[in-house]
């Protein structure tokens, strides 16, 4: 075992603090990664607060990991010392079910092993990216292309893939009107990716405060959802809406903004249930879909796509002692647009 510096929540809702954790020795198919940057996802906050139900403490959050390989096990074939790599939300799965075999490890029938707040297949708790090193099986590691800096690449490992996956699945592209609901960590990557895919992109944000940024990221239009006129004007407009909102919303109102047979793909994971009238989907033959991160092959595809199109996250780089303040700002929708921890400060 190797002792590694980390930042952890000792208990639900407690502030995160500096600590140490043990990382396993490198096994046959493992790579040891020197973590350089770790993004702060709203999911880290939901879990550290136990907003989604019982969690495992102490918790070292972080599933947007970018770093450099410093050691490889004897059986490793995909990576070598010095490679620039990323780890996202998963570090293992059964690898044998039809979903794993299809590259959809997120749907593993036995349940995937999450990067943190999970019990690994060796029976040990997993600890995430707010730390200086991590040991991961090579099959759950992706390559960060040379064109992407590690700091702006880190958020792609969750925010990037979580938006890329539904945008591809539901056909965002030329001739399609796509709305991104919520301009936070996930949402701003959604705007960039949907624009790069060739779609006509609209941001639906609570206010017009971030309009200039949204247009700079590639949006063609920008509307405030606090203005009731938005809902009149945009009624029946979109082929696809991707909701990234972390709080319960009136989905009936957003479903009305779809064209007939349009899709509202939800990725936001609010802690409370929502109320939905099924008439909101019946009349227009509409679909309400969920989407959950993306598998390893698609995560690599997304990174290659982002490198090709020059897409990184807009980040605010912070020291580890600013994590608790950053959590507060994310909860207040005061994030521009992803906090990334410089892990050298841990
Ligand atoms: P974030 O940075 O906080 O962004 C969420 C955005 O939603 C905010 O910036 C805000 O944008 C908008 N918003 C917040 N509260 C709102 C409210 N009460 N009403 C309307 N809009 C509101 O969070 P994130 O990291 O992007 O994550 C977003 C959600 O996705 C979280 O619940 C997270 O757990 C979940 N998530 C899901 C997956 C998945 O695989 N499905 C993966 C990662 C994260 P505006 O200020 O522009 O309105
Ligand atoms: Zn995440």
Task: List per-residue pLDDT tens for the chain, 346 residues long.
Answer: 999 999 999 999 999 999 999 999 999 999 999 999 999 999 999 999 999 999 999 999 999 999 999 999 999 999 999 999 999 999 999 999 999 999 999 999 999 999 999 999 999 999 999 999 999 999 999 999 999 999 999 999 999 999 999 999 999 999 999 999 999 999 999 999 999 999 999 999 999 999 999 999 999 999 999 999 999 999 999 999 999 999 999 999 999 999 999 999 999 999 999 999 999 999 999 999 999 999 999 999 999 999 999 999 999 999 999 999 999 999 999 999 999 999 999 9
Ligand 1 pocket (Cβ < 6 Å) reads 41-43, 46, 158, 162, 182-187, 205-206, 210, 244-247, 249, 267-270, 291-293, 330, 333, 335
- Centre of ligand 1 to C-alpha 264, Å, is 15
- The answer to whether residues 218 and 303 belong to one domain is no
What is the number of domains present in the chain?
A: 2
CB contact at 8 A, 44 and 62 = yes
Q: Which atom of ligand 1 is nearest to the CA of 46?
A: 34
* Dihedrals phi, psi of 32, to nearest 5 degrees: -95, 125
- Based on C-alpha coordinates, what's the Rg of the chain? 20
Domain check: are 128 and 168 in the same one?
no
Index of the ligand 1 atom closest to the CA of residue 267: 41
Alpha helix locations (H) across 128-287?
150-153, 159-169, 185-196, 211-216, 228-233, 251-255, 279-282
What are all long-range contacts of 253-258, with beta carbons under 8 Å and residues at least 24 apart?
254/181, 254/204, 255/280, 255/281, 255/284, 255/286, 255/288, 256/231, 256/280, 257/179, 257/204, 257/231, 258/284, 258/286
For residues 130 and 224, membership in a common domain is answered with no
Q: Among 254, 269, 290, where does a domain finish?
A: 290
Nearest residue CA, atom 9 of ligand 1?
184
Position 54 scores a pLDDT of: 97
Residues 243 and 258 in one domain: yes
- Answer yes or no: do 115 and 260 share one domain: no
Range of the domain at 72: 2-158+294-345
Q: Which residue minimizes the CA distance to atom 11 of ligand 1?
A: 182
Same domain, 220 and 186: yes
Cα separation, 250 vs 159, in Å, equals 23
Q: Do 286 and 304 have their domain in common? A: no
Domain boundary residue, one of 248, 266, 290: 290
Ligand 2 midpoint to CA 321 (Å): 20
Residues 40 and 113 in one domain: yes
Contacts of 332 (CB under 8 A, 6+ apart): none
- What one-character-per-residue DSSP string does 279-294 give? HHHHTTT-EEEE----
The reply to whether 15 and 126 lie within a common domain is: yes
Which-ligand-closest: CA of 128? 2
CATH of the domain at 16: 3.90.180.10
Mutate to test the pocket of ligand 1, among 38, 40, 42, 331 (most ligand atoms within 8 A of CB): 42
How far does residue 281's CA lie from ligand 1's centre (Å)? 23
State whether 226 and 304 are in the same domain.
no
Residues 121 and 224 in one domain: no
Rounded CA separation 211/219 (Å): 9
Q: Phi, psi (5° rounding) for residue 210?
A: -105, 20
Whether residue 35 sits in one domain with residue 21: yes
Q: Look at the pTM and tell me if it is higher than 0.85.
A: yes
Q: Exposed/middle/buried for 335, CB within 10 Å: 0-12, 13-18, 19+?
A: buried
Angle, in degrees to the nearest 10, between helices 159-169 and 185-196: 40
SS3 341: strand
State the distance from the centre of ligand 1 to the C-alpha of 337, rounded, in angstroms.
Answer: 11
Q: What ligand has the least distance to the C-alpha of 38?
A: 2
Nearest to 31 by CA among 116, 150, 135, 157: 135
For the CA of 244, the nearest ligand: 1
Which CATH number characterizes residue 220's domain?
A: 3.40.50.720
């Amino acid at each position: 075992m190797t002792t590694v510096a980390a930042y952890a929540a000792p208990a639900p809702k407690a502030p995160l603090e500096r600590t140490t954790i043990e990382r396993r020795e490198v096994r046959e198919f493992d790579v040891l990664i020197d973590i350089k940057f770790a993004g702060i996802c709203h999911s880290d906050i939901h879990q550290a607060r136990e907003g989604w139900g019982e969690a495992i403490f102490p918790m070292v959050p972080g599933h947007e990991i970018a770093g450099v390989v410093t050691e490889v096990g004897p059986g490793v074939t995909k990576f070598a010392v010095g490679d620039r790599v990323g780890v996202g939300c998963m570090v293992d799965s059964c690898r044998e079910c039809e979903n794993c075999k299809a590259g959809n490890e997120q749907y593993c029938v036995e349940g995937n092993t999450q990067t943190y707040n999970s019990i690994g297949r060796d029976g040990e708790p997993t600890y995430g990216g707010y730390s200086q090193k991590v040991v991961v099986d090579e099959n759950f590691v992706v390559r960060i292309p040379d064109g992407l800096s590690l700091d702006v690449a880190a958020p792609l490992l969750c925010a990037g893939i979580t938006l890329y996956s539904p945008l591809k699945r539901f056909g965002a592209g030329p001739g399609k009107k796509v709305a991104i609901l919520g301009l936070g960590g996930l949402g701003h990557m959604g705007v960039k990716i949907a624009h790069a895919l060739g779609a006509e992109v609209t941001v639906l944000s609570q206010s017009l405060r971030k309009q200039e940024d949204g247009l700079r990221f590639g949006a063609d239009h920008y509307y405030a959802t606090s203005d009731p006129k938005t809902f009149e004007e945009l009624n029946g407009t979109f082929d696809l809406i991707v909701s990234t909102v972390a709080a319960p919303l009136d989905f009936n109102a957003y479903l009305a903004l779809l064209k007939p047979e349009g899709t509202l793909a939800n990725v936001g994971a609010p802690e409370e249930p929502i109320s939905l009238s099924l008439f909101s989907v019946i009349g227009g033959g509409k679909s309400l879909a969920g989407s959950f991160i993306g598998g390893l092959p698609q995560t690599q595809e997304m990174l290659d796509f982002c490198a090709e199109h020059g897409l990184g996250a807009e980040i605010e780089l912070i020291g580890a002692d600013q994590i608790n303040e950053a959590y507060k700002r994310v909860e207040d929708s005061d994030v521009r647009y992803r906090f990334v921890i410089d892990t050298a400060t841990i």
